[in-house]
Structure 1
């Protein structure tokens, strides 16, 4: 029988009060059960939130460098388990083992970065109009923070949300996605093993409609940080706003890459394939729209098809596999429905578009990398987030039209351009409506020390990671002292 993973509540690994567990299955072979996780209810969640609430004062009063010591220990523990956790990630949500190892190593680096936050400044001295007074700012933690995370980055995203929250003196209740709960539990085990005090970090697994919504609704959760779909994010934000809780939402993207007429086409092709198809396109920053100048369009398209033909799809644990499965049957069906919609809208399917059911693949949720030609930007496949390995090629007359089309979206998470012209670069940087813009680099990815977040419907306009994290997880307190 597969291992059963428990909730962490007030420092104890506990079963759900429901007595129910759920299977987490391997999307590359749905007959394989990776583990069993708790199917929790609101009473389980309330116990976790009460534990976090009881622990928050002692944790807040602990010196920030001492909080950092726990995080440094957790980084050391996670580093010893990179291979184990990466393999679990690949089995549970499908991304290839090299990608999973890279993500887990990034988790180690994030832990070490925020371990050092305890030694950095938290305020400024401000001149007062009273020459007999001292005025300065400091920061206060929010209190209890609810963390709701997706399945596509089951190590990095929980860590880049939980760890700054802890570093700045908050206590945490984590609700990971059901399709990645085993991996997330193994990450929490590392923090627990590091000796973080009881109640400071809690884990509750279960359905988003129950546990995620319960976090958003609970009066003793002071802040909520969420990554997921824009539909669910709006519900979380509305619930938090209704009761005055602080919230942070990172949601969808329909990320463009612009290929200018003076681009290095080989570099642009490489980055388009990597940015759009790695992790089976299941990244919020994945390239989706490929906007190409008409003078290089045909050459670029030919090079792109040739590169995509080299991709081997299969079980991510196999050494020569470049792209794994969709995370589950529902996601596969969603991708296939968008491919069908693209055909119906009149776009030309020029590569892929089929579910793969060959020997070795028939028991998994595999789809071919897919390319559509002659896509108009008002088509559904050019406007809605697919979260799959589907590229939409759009021809434009010049850079001005390319940027106009790139901005014609409800989303504004990331965007990239390939050009050798400095003025093109500066125009793109200035005019592109996205929170992350990259020049001669793929749309996916941001360094951990840099702020991350989107514009328009891609986020709630706050930023994660780097020094920007302190802005969400704390409130500024202005102090005036006079003898």
Structure 2
């Protein structure tokens, strides 16, 4: 019998003991700042002269660590290690694979404060955001392990007299995992272990901004008993290593989380059949969003304002699910806007290592410059009512920014900014608000704040997003509770943390025996 899945609880930081534990985690991370980390290929640790240097986005003078950088030759070596390991890993019992995930979850749970602190240092996540990231990683390990135990015997199919038919799932082969920097533990771990527990071997290429979290997670998987060659750690540049692996004839699937532009590029490259390739590659992609919260005239306006601020500015808006567009029915537009402005101006923007910080820095110089450029665009397109300033002298800090009175087709209402910027537009009716909410090329998350049951049902049918929330914010999907993934340019409709996600990493095989 498969044990029931339980969501990993978030840490209550109002309790002094939990605060002490987090501070102890920060001390542990501080003790290994600046260390070097090797590639891991076929279980062998390999150091290279070329390094990816990870910096603290809240203090760009502080080096978190240096990670060896793979080149094409090493990428090829890792591919061959994965191909070889697949021969045996695909035949291991699903129960054994699941046990590796369960042990890794136990190790990570014991080191949760340390990993959360590392997320604070390397990704700039405030305490609660970092704790949620670590909890989600544990959830993925626990959930996917249980899902594999449910899928291991396939699905019953009909048999006729003197015949026995089976419908089983078998692994695909070697997968390339290209993970993002914004959830450098949860998404990196989730995408990697989903592939692994399904019987595949993988090459993990983490985001260059947050490779230390990934290196530490690879150590956990080794400690949990994962055999050599199943998980190969190959950080490197997208142009050199990423393209090479996506194009490789032995790559069976690519699991990618990141921007629309890179996702489209991967999808296009993966569609080409290269010399020696005998399959069509599968692409599992989550590519971002331009997420809208709709506020009805019949709504709890305080709930709406609190939810908008939390969804827009949690982790500096650097979530593909973050609220970046607000459509308010005109009768309550001014009230909602004024309360959001008031709440926004009360937010604390500072070093995320402090428990009092609500919002930390954005991830790096490129992100800072891009967001500040969008703020200048916003000043031309709408009315700046909060924020609009930044300071990159020590770290990459931008004040939470609100623009009002925007045309829903304005650039900052259409293009993914991926920062602490939210725009407001006014709708005459609820029906018009839903039309405006759908007026983007994305379809990831959305939220509707309303007391009107008919309006809820209309949104349930017509608001075209993969994750729709009522009377709450549009961020914070929990593994197994709100399977996560969107429509249109938000990706391939895959649902991370959902009951059919592992099936994307497997293929069905029918066998029929005549008696």
Report the TM-score range of the alignment, normalised by the length of the smaller protein: over 0.9
Q: Which of 289, 292, 295 is residue 256 of structure 1 equivalent to?
A: 292
Q: Which of 386, 390, 406 is residue 355 of structure 1 equivalent to?
A: 390
Residue 88 of structure 1 deviates from its aligned partner by 1.5
Q: Which residue of 2 aligns with 1:473?
A: 505
Query: Runs of at least 4 residues of structure 1 off by over 3 A?
Result: none
**Cα deviation digits, residues 78-129 of structure 1 (max 9, x gap):** 112212221111111211122112211221122112222342134222224x
- Between the aligned partners of 2:430 and 2:242, the Cα distance in structure 1 is 42
**Cα deviation digits, residues 10-43 of structure 1 (max 9, x gap):** 1122113xx2112111111111111001122111
- Between the aligned partners of 1:105 and 1:436, the Cα distance in structure 2 is 20
Residue 461 of structure 1 deviates from its aligned partner by 2.8
Q: Which residue of 1 aligns with 2:309?
A: 273
- The 5 Å alignment of 1:285-324 reads 285-324=321-360
Q: Does 1:325 align with 2:340?
A: no
Q: Does 1:52 align with 2:88?
A: no
Q: Does 1:185 align with 2:215?
A: yes
Structure 2 unaligned residues grouped into runs of 5+: 1-32, 274-279
Q: Which residue of 1 aligns with 2:462?
A: 431
Q: Is the 8 A contact 1:117 1:167 kept in 2?
A: no
Q: Is the 8 A contact 2:299 2:449 kept in 1?
A: yes
Residue 63 of structure 1 deviates from its aligned partner by 0.7
Q: Which of 376, 397, 414 is residue 383 of structure 1 equivalent to?
A: 414
Q: Structure 1 length normalisation: TM-score?
A: 0.96
Q: Is the 8 A contact 2:201 2:229 kept in 1?
A: yes
* SS of the residue 2:339 aligns to: helix
Structure 1 unaligned residues grouped into runs of 5+: none
Q: Is the 8 A contact 1:177 1:208 kept in 2?
A: no
Residue 160 of structure 1 deviates from its aligned partner by 1.4
Q: Is the 8 A contact 1:65 1:116 kept in 2?
A: no
Q: Is the 8 A contact 1:66 1:118 kept in 2?
A: no
**Cα deviation digits, residues 263-297 of structure 1 (max 9, x gap):** 11111111111111101000000001000011111
Worse-superposed segment, 112-121 or 143-152: 112-121
- Between the aligned partners of 1:95 and 1:119, the Cα distance in structure 2 is 34
Residue 229 of structure 1 deviates from its aligned partner by 0.5
Q: Which of 435, 446, 449 is residue 404 of structure 1 equivalent to?
A: 435
Q: Is the 8 A contact 2:151 2:169 kept in 1?
A: no
Q: Which residue of 2 aligns with 1:227?
A: 257
- Between the aligned partners of 2:170 and 2:221, the Cα distance in structure 1 is 23
Residue 235 of structure 1 deviates from its aligned partner by 1.0
Q: Which residue of 2 aligns with 1:3?
A: 35
Residue 143 of structure 1 deviates from its aligned partner by 0.8
- Between the aligned partners of 1:178 and 1:92, the Cα distance in structure 2 is 11
Residue 344 of structure 1 deviates from its aligned partner by 2.1
- Between the aligned partners of 1:118 and 1:227, the Cα distance in structure 2 is 22
* SS of the residue 1:388 aligns to: coil
Q: Does 1:32 align with 2:66?
A: no
- Between the aligned partners of 2:348 and 2:173, the Cα distance in structure 1 is 47
Q: Which residue of 2 aligns with 1:339?
A: 375
When the two chains are superposed, the root-mean-square deviation of aligned CA atoms in Å is 1.3
Residue 249 of structure 1 deviates from its aligned partner by 1.1
Q: Does 1:201 align with 2:231?
A: yes
- Between the aligned partners of 1:126 and 1:196, the Cα distance in structure 2 is 33
Q: Is the 8 A contact 1:451 1:468 kept in 2?
A: no
Q: Structure 2 length normalisation: TM-score?
A: 0.90
* SS of the residue 1:4 aligns to: strand
- Between the aligned partners of 1:174 and 1:73, the Cα distance in structure 2 is 20
Q: Which residue of 2 aligns with 1:454?
A: 486
- Between the aligned partners of 1:385 and 1:433, the Cα distance in structure 2 is 17
- The 5 Å alignment of 1:132-143 reads 132-143=162-173
* SS of the residue 1:378 aligns to: coil
- Between the aligned partners of 1:152 and 1:391, the Cα distance in structure 2 is 18
- Between the aligned partners of 1:159 and 1:482, the Cα distance in structure 2 is 43
